[in-house]
Chain A
Amino acid sequence: MTAHARAIAATAILGWLAYVALAWPSSLTSASASSLDPLWLPAGVAVALVIRHGPWIVAVSAAGGLTANLLWGEAGPWLTAAYTAGTALTPLVAGIVFQWVDDPPRVLAPRLMWRAFQWRDSDVPILGNERSALAFLLATLAAGGVGTAWIALFGADDTATAAWGISVVLGVAIVAPAVLVGPRALARAVRARPLESAAIALTLVGVHYAIFVVPVAWTHAAATLAGAPPVVWGALRLGRAGAALVPPLTAAVVLTGTMLNHGPFASFDGWAVPTAYLMVVSAVAWLLGGHAETVWRAESTREIRRRAAETARDRLMELLETTSDFVLTAELDRDRRDIKPLYANNGAWRLLGVSSSRGLTELTLERVYPLWAVRIMRGDAIPTAVDEGIWRGELAVCHAGGHEIPVSQVLVPHRDAGGEVRAVSTIIRDIAGAKETERALRREKAFTDHVVATSPNLVVSICPDGTVRFVNPAVERATGHARESLLGTDWWRTVFHTPQQRGDAERVLANLAEHDELTDQVLTLATRDGTERVVSWSFLRRRGPDGEPIEIIAHGRDITADREEIARQQQQEQLRALGEMAGGMAHELNNALQPVVGLLGVMRDQAGGDATLGRCVDTMETHTLHARRIVTDVLAFARQQGPDVAVFELRGLTREVVDFIGPLMVDSVRLTAEGLDAGPPLDVETSRNGLIQVVQNITNNAVDAMDGKGTIHVAVGAETNEAGEPERARIAITDTGPGMDRVSARNLFNPFYTTKDVGSGTGLGMAVVYGLVTHWNGTIDVDSEPGAGTTITITLPCTAAGGTGGA
């Protein structure tokens, strides 16, 4: 059932009831225009539906009813008036119900009642609520039903009419107020508003009594009119409870007057007119009271809302005036290319550096923005905001001082009831500080990036789970792993291989868990090709705002070369100290050996033919001379004694040396050479005998290491300077022996350090090599690994001016 259908049905029922209540009793008691009665009902409904305008509906209905009665009715003036009133009221009630069903009851203010009656405001209902409407309906039905039944049973004589009237009065006067407000509410109303209650009571009792007592029509009409305002006023003041006072009081007055056969009603036959009068007065009072109550409630609600809204608005205004953001609302012109500011907050004036006394007209787009930003506002920002509901972006505004201030801006459109955008509001924020910070951060980052990228030190960022987040190029160089292949892999597994390396790394990790920051952590890592690098690390464990670790930053210096240099220096220092001691000892030993060496010869001469004594002398001499050789070698090592130095061409000299020692080699050892016969001349300071001794000692060592079988390769080469001239000359002697471990390589030049069987040498061969090469200002390096042979490289500085010593 649609709302309209319900409204029409309700109108028909109410209209019929009003008709029954007002017109039928009259027709029962007089020869009225009963034959025309059905005509005005549908006509009234139609008028209400079509016109929907209270005064016109009433006017049309009243005119219709009056015309019908005057033309065709036989009733007297009172009946005609009542009939006309019924005719007028019915469509009005129909319209009220119509609207009530269409739009459930909400608000009505006294001053709005007229508007409601005019049906202008569709939001304003006339009836109080569903419950009260239903109660009124039931009361009327009950009263009408009792009266109708009485007439049907006993006929329509005076007694019957009187009974019907009584039943209606009882129904309306007793049942309705009770149902509507209840006795308690009534008592409350009287207590709360005694003045208004008294006014109603007095008006009704006094004025109505006057009506009935003074049987003059015009007096009656005047009194009715005079009594209406206080009733209306009281009802409005008291609400529905006050209105409930009206029916019983009116009923009492009417009943009394009629019973006493006084007043104008006494001149009518029956009770129809007094009853109608009672009902009209009660209905009007009830309606007004209901409206009033609804309005009080609505008004108080609205008032609260209004005040809350005002408070909120005040606070928002306070906020707007305090914030440093630029807030502006403006109307848009028709083509949406310009704005007409309506409001700008303090922040706006402050940001622009302009006094607010300059007025809103000052705030044109051209004044607020630089030219480029004006173009963006017109070309992009305003159209986008209008089309999409919002625009955000970064622009700049013009400060009065002449400079631009970078800002971020939000622009929102406002739509009117028709959905058209006629205004916009904007919030503009100064982001100069943020921009400056951003620039500073960017500069800082560029600096850091540059330093990290070009640093010779290793920089690694490691996630808490150990995976690599970042490495710099130095890591690539040190480990031999490409950056891409390192990213995402487990750092600790990738670069720490041996149990020793892993163990050290785990110790550092455990330490780091406690300290967050560690420095000077020396860890040996494995490169991609399997060699080792020694790196001194500093670690920083960074934590997030929640205290959880987010990364480890590892910063390392490759100290492999430093370590080697330190080891070399330590070795040099050690050898120098050894040399000094050995030299001093040798001097004393030489003197000490002189008597033995010298006198053994004398003893041999003195021994004559004594064979035993001769053998004794020979053996002693052999060992004494061995001792002397040891001392000589020690002295050579100690650089105190070496063959005379001169400038030689190294290639030629090495050729001589190789030719000299070649024939001395055992057959199972092959001696090969390169760089001896071709290449730029390499002039160095050395000595022939010394070089022979050096090469011989090294090759002897190699032969022993190879167990007498293998190849010895002698190669001469040079390191050149930028001009391509030889700067340093090199002799590299490589064997195919088993190689040496680190310890052996490190101790190779120490006097008396030997891996050979005791007694097979003086233990000074390599020490002598070291002594001689150092004597020539050269250096000597050992490159050896177990299983990979040994290369000993002697490097001698080339003389600036070439000489041709003995070559």
Chain B
Amino acid sequence: MANILLIEDMDGVRDTLEIMLSAQGHSVTTAANGNDGLSRAKQGGFDVVITDIIMPDTDGNDVLVELRKQAKRPPTIALSGGGSKVSADDALQLARQHADQVMTKPVTQSELNDALSSVLGG
């Protein structure tokens, strides 16, 4: 079972993903914004970091870029909400460069499991 950091600003989505991951027996630490998420991530100890891409202030890409700078970093999964905003499109392109896996919401339990397996090398 993995130790997972989940960064997501939308409460409903964060709760949902926490339930989904916990139901699979993972240990989940949540952060409601990019800054909090990044500071937690920097403390270390996570097997996987799952982050939403578009968030106020420090967004998912900022987190991913910061993590990339660390010598030893956990694998990352970026979650995209899709959408029509130009920034969303650009953000997605950026995330593809910095994250190990990019998923578009809404994700099913099995898709999430597959993605975790993929990044954890299991």
Binding site for B on A (CB under 8 A): 579-588, 590-591, 593-602, 604-606, 621, 624-625, 628, 631-632, 635, 638, 640-641
Contact = CB atoms under 8 A, between A and B. Distances in A.
Contact of A591 (B23, B89, B105, B109): B105
Contacts of A579: 84
Contact of A601 (B82, B84, B88, B108): B108
Contact of A640 (B19, B20, B88): B88
Contacts of A585: 84
Contact of B82 (A587, A605, A606, A621): A587
Interface stretch (B8-16, B26-34, B55-63, B65-73): B8-16
B84 A640 contact: yes
A142 B112 CA distance: 169
Those 7 A-B pairs whose CB atoms lie nearest each other, nearest first? A583-B84, A587-B83, A601-B109, A597-B106, A594-B106, A593-B106, A595-B16
A583 B82 CA distance: 8
Contacts of A635: 82-84
Nearest to B80: A590
Given A590-B106, A591-B10, A591-B105, A598 B112 contact: yes
A594 to B, nearest CB: 4
A597 B107 CA distance: 7
B81 to A, nearest CB: 5
A580 B17 CA distance: 28
Residue with the greatest number of chain B CB neighbours at <10 A, chosen from A587, A598, A632, A641:
A598
Given A587-B88, A602-B19, A641 B106 contact: no
A631 B84 contact: no
Given A599-B20, A640-B89, A594 B84 contact: no
8 contacts: A580-B84, A587-B81, A590-B81, A591-B106, A602-B109, A606-B23, A635-B83, A638-B84
Contacts of B16: 594-595, 598-599
A232 B81 CA distance: 151
A585 B84 CA distance: 8
A588 B85 CA distance: 11
Residue with the greatest number of chain A CB neighbours at <10 A, chosen from B15, B16, B83, B108:
B83
Nearest to A635: B82
B104 interface: yes
Contacts of B110: 601
Contact of A598 (B17, B83, B89): B17
Nearest to B17: A598
Contacts of A581: 84
B84 A598 contact: no
A333 to B, nearest CB: 104
A593 to B, nearest CB: 4
Contacts of B12: 591, 594-595
A594 B81 CA distance: 9
Interface in B68-105: 81-85, 88-89, 104-105
A587 B106 contact: no
A596 B13 CA distance: 10
Nearest to A586: B82
A4 B12 CA distance: 151
A583 B83 contact: yes
Nearest to A638: B84
Contact of B105 (A584, A593, A599, A606): A593
A635 B88 CA distance: 12
B9 to A, nearest CB: 10
Contacts of B81: 587, 590-591
Contacts of A591: 10, 12-13, 81, 105-106
A451 B112 CA distance: 73
A601 B108 CA distance: 7
